Amino acid sequence: MSKNVVITGANKSIGYETARQLGQSGYRIWLGCRNEERGRAAVAALAADNIDARLVIMDVTQPDSVRAAAERIREEDGRLDVLINNAGIPGAQLVAPSTQSIDDIRSVYETNVFGAIQVTQTFLPLLRAAGEARIVMVSSGLGSLNWVSDLDHPYSAVEAVGYTSSKSALNAVTVAFAKELAKYAISVNAVDPGYTATDFNGHTGYRTVEQAASGIVWLTEQAVSVTGGFWFDGQRAPW
């Protein structure tokens, strides 16, 4: 059986391109999507490129949905080689921290942080069953405390406390899981895809989804001993 991968939030943009690149490398793709119609369209497009892609309906903020997705993959594959926690939402952008609503910030955390934790915990038995496995947390350079605290860095000017702090939290989650799971030969890393042209930013990013996805795919190719890091284009990024 070929290796398999679950990618959350994968019906478009970076998630979809990651699926396409891994599918072309021979992975079986489990496309995690909330919207069935969009998910089916994405799977059909991948299948047209001779990629083994399957839709699994999953809302990372709903535990029952995540458990049902894991159970289906357990029944059909019995294991999971790679988990890519890509699902994320931006929340309010360009708003001062003092005025961003707590409800909006909480919503961002539900997806970007608690969702990633929920998915990782739920899929852990399948990852352990693979013998060696990899978990990739799709973070952001905006989560780097080093970069956002440097007033000379362009990221320091971004006002989106819900999103930026959620990615800092996701980086901390990455380290915590990496320390626990090393003994099971499961690597856990975070990746910054860079400022990529997507719906998140009205397609104003300077990087393509192909460039963004390549850094994620690179992590899936590393030895499981490479763990607990934050990466950008194959290089360590500052926490």
Domains of the chain: 4-236 (3.40.50.720)
Say what the alpha-carbon torsion angle 148, 154, 157, 159 is, to the nearest 10 degrees: -70
Per the CB < 8 A criterion, the answer to whether 7 and 53 are in contact is no
CA distances 46 to 35, 43, 218, Å, are 17, 5, 20
- Smallest CA-to-CA distance from 130 within 185, 179, 86 is with 185
Q: 21-30, pLDDT tens digit by residue?
A: 999 999 999 9
Catalytic choice (109, 163, 179, 195): 163
Short-list 128, 108, 130, 110, CA closest to 118: 110
Give the whole-number percent of the chain exceeding pLDDT 70: 95
155 tagged catalytic: no
Give catalytic status of residue 167 as yes or no: yes
Mean pLDDT, to the nearest integer, of 89-114? 96
In whole angstroms, give the CA distance from residue 226 to residue 189. Answer: 8
- Which pLDDT does position 205 carry in this prediction? 59
pLDDT (0 to 100) of residue 180:
98
pLDDT of 203 > 70? The answer is no
pTM of the model: 0.96
What mean pLDDT is reported for the chain?
Answer: 94
Radius of gyration over every alpha carbon of the chain, rounded to an integer in angstroms? 17
Residue 202 predicted with pLDDT over 80: no
**Catalytic pick from 3, 109, 167, 195?**
167
Integer CA distances (angstroms), 124 to 177, 180, 185, 209, in order: 11, 12, 12, 28
Q: Is residue 197 pLDDT above 60, yes or no? A: no
* Residue reference for tokens 């299948």: 47
pLDDT at 200: 65
| Buried/exposed 162-185: b ≥16 CB within 10 Å, e otherwise | bbbbbbbbbbebbbebbeebeeeb
Euclidean distance between the first and the last CA atom of the chain, given in angstroms as a whole number: 37
What's residue 108's pLDDT? 98
